[in-house]
Amino acid sequence: MKYCVGIDLGSTTTKAVVLGEEGEILGRGITNSRSNYEIACDVSVSEALIDARFGLLDAALTDAGVDGDRKLAQLEELERGFREQQYRGDLTELKRTMEGYLARGDYSGAEKSAVEAVLGQMTGEASSLYAKGTSRKSDFFRDLAGGRYLELAEKSAREEGLSYDRLVGLYDKAILEVENTVAHDDSFSDRITAALAGLPERDAQLEEAIGRVTATPLEKSGSVGTGYGRQTLPFAKEDIRSEILCHGLGAHAMFPRTRTVLDIGGQDTKAIQVDEDGIVTSFQMNDRCAAGCGRYLGYIADEMNIGLHELGPIACGSKRPVKINSTCTVFAGAELRERLSLGEKREDILAGLHRAIILRAMSLLARSGGVEEEFTFTGGVAKNPAATDALRALISENYGEKTLNISPDSIYTGALGAAMFAQREWTRLQCA
């Protein structure tokens, strides 16, 4: 089976979308961006191909006449087992890397024992991490492993009288090396076989379907890259496209009546106008300052010692939003601390910050040509409920009632547009 892939290399995450020969979406993949952009691209594509194979498995079970509820339960259990195998594999590599540093560095026997105990406990907890009904704050290995390692390392340092900073420094060195040298295996076979073996009972239909899907070759026929870091992508110059073009085309593909697109990413914000074919007619971008972008929200989350995904829900609890005039990333921490010292509630501060971010975006929208039917919000910030609530209110206030499109897959919009450009070029070459 041939496929085309689009990669959106952002400052925070790298996304990939895989399209089939008829232009259908086969799979989507995402990973955290890192200093080695080639590895980030490899991992995101690998994740998209894994997603594609699960989609093929879904279709194979349907063709085999497997009952819908039974099929859903099987696929959910298989994917949990598959992700557990991925986590265990990455944890093994982290353990190997940390042991190397321990052997070469000036670490005491107590420190070595503490690290071994922490990693051993993390390995033992892997199954419970992926148990049915368990929710995880992140699916990125760095976040999952890092959060638990730091928690256990702090406990160990306190009980054993060790330096917490040294234990953390060891992890920081090791995770950087692991992230920048290990790409997920997209062969699918080993991990799905291990996941299958972990099921409570054997199922001949499921085994046969997995065998057929595993044996199906996936052959890349074209690729296009875009995103904040597109100039660093390991692609030929002709295989790079502007973020503006990709987000415009991707948003139009997801919502064909789209005429205005707002993308708020990690480092920039883009207001885009497109025609009935998804072709960009005008656009505006913020300057190089990251104020009003996802990175700013990241700084706020770090300052408050909470997860980025928690900001929106906390802000939604506000009863009296604070008026914020500045969204300068450089002074984010100082401004936040000042507001808290004045007795302002954190949910009110966060609500005001979200509104201030959207107000900056509204200025770009006005300069690009305003808001037309339909309006589509893309990028990672589109998952933030406080941001979407503020946007909906300000759009209504300034332009009247408009259709606001927000998809659960909005973060993949740029990658989808890139994949569509790759698909079009492959089709053109086939017809030439």
pLDDT tens digits for range 212-255: 999 999 999 999 999 877 777 767 788 899 999 999 999 999 99
Q: Report which listed range, 158-162, 181-185, 231-235, 427-431, is most confident.
A: 158-162
pLDDT surpasses 70 at 114: yes
Categorize the per-residue pLDDT at 296 as very low, low, confident or very high, splitting at 50, 70 and 90.
confident
Digit-coded pLDDT (tens) for 385-396: 999 999 999 999
Categorize the per-residue pLDDT at 304 as very low, low, confident or very high, splitting at 50, 70 and 90.
confident
Digit-coded pLDDT (tens) for 316-334: 999 888 887 665 655 666 7
| Closest C-alpha among 86, 123, 119 to residue 100 | 119
pLDDT surpasses 80 at 307: no
State how beta strands 375-378 and 404-405 pair: parallel
CA-to-CA distance for 91 and 126, rounded, in angstroms?
Answer: 9
Burial class of 213 by CB neighbour count within 10 A (0 to 12, 13 to 18, 19+): buried
Any idea where the domains of the chain sit in the sequence? 40-214
Half-sphere exposure of 248 (CA within 13 A, CB side): 22
In this prediction, residue 134 carries a pLDDT of 86
Lowest mean pLDDT among 73-87, 187-201, 330-344: 330-344
In this prediction, residue 333 carries a pLDDT of 67
Which residues have C-beta within 8 Å of that of residue 429, sequence separation ≥ 6?
none
| Closest C-alpha among 237, 180, 183, 166 to residue 47 | 183
Lowest mean pLDDT among 126-130, 182-186, 212-216, 311-315: 182-186
Decide if 18 contacts 425 (C-beta within 8 A): no
Decide if 184 contacts 49 (C-beta within 8 A): no
Q: Report which listed range, 9-18, 164-173, 181-190, 373-382, is most confident.
A: 164-173
Lowest mean pLDDT among 61-70, 78-87, 94-103, 328-337: 328-337
In this prediction, residue 309 carries a pLDDT of 80
State how beta strands 269-274 and 260-264 pair: antiparallel
Mean residue pLDDT across the chain: 89
pLDDT surpasses 70 at 274: yes
Lowest mean pLDDT among 234-238, 281-285, 320-324, 349-353: 234-238
Digit-coded pLDDT (tens) for 179-211: 887 555 556 888 999 999 988 888 888 999 999
CA-to-CA distance for 221 and 223, rounded, in angstroms?
Answer: 7
CA-to-CA distance for 415 and 265, rounded, in angstroms?
Answer: 13
Which residues have C-beta within 8 Å of that of residue 278, sequence separation ≥ 6?
248, 249, 251, 252, 253, 258
In this prediction, residue 288 carries a pLDDT of 54
In this prediction, residue 328 carries a pLDDT of 63
pLDDT surpasses 70 at 292: no
% of residues, the chain, pLDDT over 90: 60
